[in-house]
Amino acid sequence: MMRAYASVLAFCAFAYSFLFNLVGMAGALALLGAMTVATIVIWILWSRREPLPRRTWRQHPLTVYAYAGFAVLSLAWSQWIGTSLLTLAAEGVFVFHAFFLALRFSKRDLLVIAERALSAVVVLSLAVELWVALRGAPLLPNFQQAPDDPDPHYDWIRGNLLDGFLAGGRIQGIVGNANLLAVLCLLALVVIVTRLVRRDGGTIPRVLIGLIALWLLVRAGSANMYVNALALVVVAVLVLVARRLPSTRARAWFFSVLGALALGLAAVLLFARDWLFGLLGRSDDLTGRGEIWEKVLGRWAESPVVGNGYAAPWLPWDPHFDGWIVDHGLTVFHGHSMWIDTLMQLGVIGAALLAIMWGTAFVRAAASATRGATMVPLLVIVMLLIQGLTEAAPIQYWELMAIVVISVGQGVWRTSTKASTAEH
């Protein structure tokens, strides 16, 4: 019962933009509020029946507390106090649910929950994309009527699925964004492959959904996710090799090789951008991101130490962001880099706290994976860090929720005595 509720919760987090496009902002916020109240009630009742064991300070996610605390503290100097209050409240709901999932469910439970939610996203995306393609007309958010001069950038789903098998227009799935669909499909593949390797049963449907996810990933056409998929394969191979070496030597070897690869990738991005981005079909400024980064860094320079105030995402109706950066006639609502965006919002201090939070989670996940534990936390962290180079998504919504789940879970999973939350 609890895993079923958590699966619905995870689906709503992964497909948050689906809810906005389906029922509008008011409807999505109402649903978000209702689920938050439901989670609070469930957590209270569950805790009365099965109290959580007391934790030592070492088991607390201190890095999460530090980053979140500084974000709240930025209200004192925020240049856009309304946006800061609203986005802190919204992201706070995701963080609250991250604590609920990490503290009340085991790693095995969370793998099942994630697979169910991601499978629903994949299957529904295929079904809706097929329906819109056969319908012969794009689907607009909230089922609005198409204007006389339609702009595909306003479409929820463009109906490109049948353009070709491996080529054609990019698809967007139920989430209405090709890049977001791609990262969800890649995450689904990570979870599905992990469960296949563990032989958890349900092989045939799992393989079918995995193949659909792979196809949708290709059709989404995200260059970031192509690089990401390759990086995940490399990391997985490194972990498997490191597990066969003596433990101390394995960790040292693993981190050394991974560090060298990271430096090598950075060098390629710096000195061979034209060749690499041309190979991926992208401009050398990553499809206009160079101009966005320049403007965001310019605003960061106004308050480089503590930033201008939390804003994740930027609210397009706020005068500070409305029309500030425009792409295809739409106001941009994030900085297309988690690090550059954080610098503007929370300055050097906030970016340092963010780096410590992610770095601590990465080191712990890597050490755990090389000792034989599941690779999923490590692969998720690597995936989101690479995504964060050109997207601000890892500091928002379900991506923020994911790193908090991992950070909180790292402190309790190894010593937890809670019972399995099997269906009942």
pLDDT tens digit string along 74-132? 999 999 999 999 999 999 999 999 999 999 999 999 999 999 999 999 999 999 999 99
Instruction: Please report, for residues 175, 184, 288, 334, the alpha-carbon distance to residue 326 in angstroms, rounded to integers and kept in the order given.
Output: 21, 26, 11, 11
3-class SS letters over 258-317: HHHHHHHHHHHHHHCHHHHHHHCCCCCCCCCHHHHHHHHHHHHCCCCCCCCCCCCCCCCC
423 has a pLDDT exceeding 60: no
Q: How far is CA 35 from the centre of its chain?
A: 20
374 has a pLDDT exceeding 50: yes
Q: What band does 267 get if pLDDT is binned at 50, 70 and 90?
A: low
As a whole number of angstroms, the distance between CA 387 and CA 11 comes to: 20
pLDDT digits (tens, 9 = 90+) for 360-371: 999 899 888 888
Q: Where are the domains of the chain?
A: 1-45+109-221, 63-104+223-415
Decide: 377 and 72 in contact? Cβ < 8 Å.
no
Cβ neighbours, 10 Å, residue 180: 26
Q: Which H helix or E strand runs over 325?
A: none
Decide: 421 and 3 in contact? Cβ < 8 Å.
yes
pLDDT value at residue 421: 38
Q: State percent of the chain over pLDDT 90.
A: 62
pLDDT value at residue 419: 38
pLDDT value at residue 195: 93
212 has a pLDDT exceeding 90: yes
Q: Tell me the pLDDT of the chain averaged across its residues.
A: 88
Q: How far is CA 88 from the centre of its chain?
A: 17
Residue 274 or 247, more confident? 247
- Please choose, from the candidates 237, 227, 275, the residue with its C-alpha nearest in 3D space to the C-alpha of residue 257: 237
Q: Which H helix or E strand runs over 359?
A: helix 338-370
184 has a pLDDT exceeding 50: yes
Instruction: Please report, for residues 34, 52, 252, 326, 363, the alpha-carbon distance to residue 410 in angstroms, rounded to integers and kept in the order given.
Output: 29, 16, 21, 40, 11
As a whole number of angstroms, the distance between CA 235 and CA 229 comes to: 10
Q: What band does 257 get if pLDDT is binned at 50, 70 and 90?
A: confident
Q: How far is CA 158 from the centre of its chain?
A: 23
145 has a pLDDT exceeding 80: yes
As a whole number of angstroms, the distance between CA 373 and CA 94 comes to: 26
User: Any alpha helices (H) in 50-166, and if so which ranges?
Assistant: 62-73, 81-104, 107-135
Cβ neighbours, 10 Å, residue 270: 8
Taking each continuous run of H as one helix and of E as one strand, the counts in the chain are 14, 2
pLDDT value at residue 417: 38
Tokens describing residue 184: 């969800």
pLDDT value at residue 146: 76
CA triplet 234, 237, 239: central angle to 5 degrees? 110
Instruction: Tell me the angle at which helices 247-271 and 223-242 cross, rounded to the nearest 10 degrees.
Output: 160
Q: Which H helix or E strand runs over 331?
A: strand 330-331
pLDDT digits (tens, 9 = 90+) for 35-53: 999 999 999 999 999 888 7
67 has a pLDDT exceeding 90: yes
**Which of the given ranges, 58-62, 179-183, 414-418, has the highest pLDDT on average?**
179-183
Residue 114 or 246, more confident? 114
Give the mean model confidence (pLDDT) for residues 150-157: 82
User: For the chain, how far is it from start to end, CA to CA, in angstroms?
Assistant: 6
pLDDT value at residue 280: 54
pLDDT value at residue 422: 36
pLDDT value at residue 418: 41
143 has a pLDDT exceeding 90: no
At position 374, the amino acid (one-letter code) is T
pLDDT value at residue 288: 67
pLDDT value at residue 187: 97
Q: Which H helix or E strand runs over 326?
A: strand 326-327
Q: What band does 202 get if pLDDT is binned at 50, 70 and 90?
A: confident
pLDDT digits (tens, 9 = 90+) for 285-330: 555 678 899 999 999 999 999 999 999 999 999 999 999 998 878 8
Q: State percent of the chain over pLDDT 70.
A: 89
60 has a pLDDT exceeding 90: no
pLDDT digits (tens, 9 = 90+) for 312-324: 999 999 999 999 9
Give the mean model confidence (pLDDT) for residues 220-230: 89
Q: Determine if the peptide bond prior to 313 is cis (ω within 30°).
A: yes
